[in-house]
């Protein structure tokens, strides 16, 4: 029997309690979960790749069946490269579902042997998004309630606060 490997792709800019919860709840379903920070042409990251990797490693230290890596290709191609037959995605709401369903359909067209598995976030995590965490940080707010307990993220971790303010204005329509 082949190993059940799931890929949990994202920008993790930054990782949130919602991401952490999805991975931990999915662990019993898979032999291995690979958390992969991908390059997204539609997004400019606010935190350095090194910081994001550090935070994910710290969040999941002690879990031998979780790996962290980066990739710069189509998600479906990366799945083939690492032998993952599953793509793990978390859903907070119906907007996430609409968006993720379309991506899952395209991925099925690209490779019908790779399945997308959706997990609903817990109700307490449904409002948490990396975008909102970044906005709070931009104005020096405390994000400790929204990120995994093992990590501390402050506005000092932002790559460029001025560019973040501009990005947030575009993202939230201000």
Q: Which residues are catalytically annotated?
A: 19, 43, 92, 130
Report how far residue 49's alpha carbon sits from residue 79's, in angstroms, rounded to the nearest whole number. Answer: 21
User: What's the 3-state SS for the chain?
Assistant: CCCCEEEEEECCCCCCHHHHHHHHHHHHHCCEEEEEEECCCCCCCCCCHHHHHHHHHHHCCCCCCEEEEEECCCHHHHHHHHCCCEEEEEECCHHHHHHHHHHHHHHHHHCCCCEEEEEECCHHHCCCCHHHHHHHHHCCCCCCCCCCCCCCCCHHHCCCHHHHHHHHHHHHCC
Q: Sort 64 into a burial class: Cβ within 10 Å, 0-12 / 13-18 / 19+.
A: exposed
């Amino acid at each position: 029997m082949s190993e059940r490997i799931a890929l949990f792709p994202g920008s993790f800019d930054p990782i949130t309690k919602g991401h952490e919860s999805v991975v931990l709840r999915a662990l019993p379903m898979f032999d291995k979960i690979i958390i992969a920070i991908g390059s997204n042409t539609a997004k400019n990251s606010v935190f350095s790749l090194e910081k994001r990797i550090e935070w994910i490693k710290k969040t999941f230290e002690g879990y031998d069946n979780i790996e962290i890596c980066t990739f710069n290709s189509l998600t479906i191609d990366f799945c083939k490269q690492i032998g993952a037959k599953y793509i793990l995605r978390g859903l907070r709401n119906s907007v996430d579902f609409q968006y993720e369903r379309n991506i899952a359909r395209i991925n099925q067209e690209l490779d019908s042997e790779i399945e997308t598995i959706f997990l609903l976030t817990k109700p307490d995590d449904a409002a948490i998004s990396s975008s909102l965490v970044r906005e709070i940080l931009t104005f020096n707010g405390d994000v400790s309630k929204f990120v995994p307990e093992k990590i501390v993220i402050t506005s000092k971790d932002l790559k460029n606060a001025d560019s973040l303010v501009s990005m947030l204005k575009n993202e939230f329509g201000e």
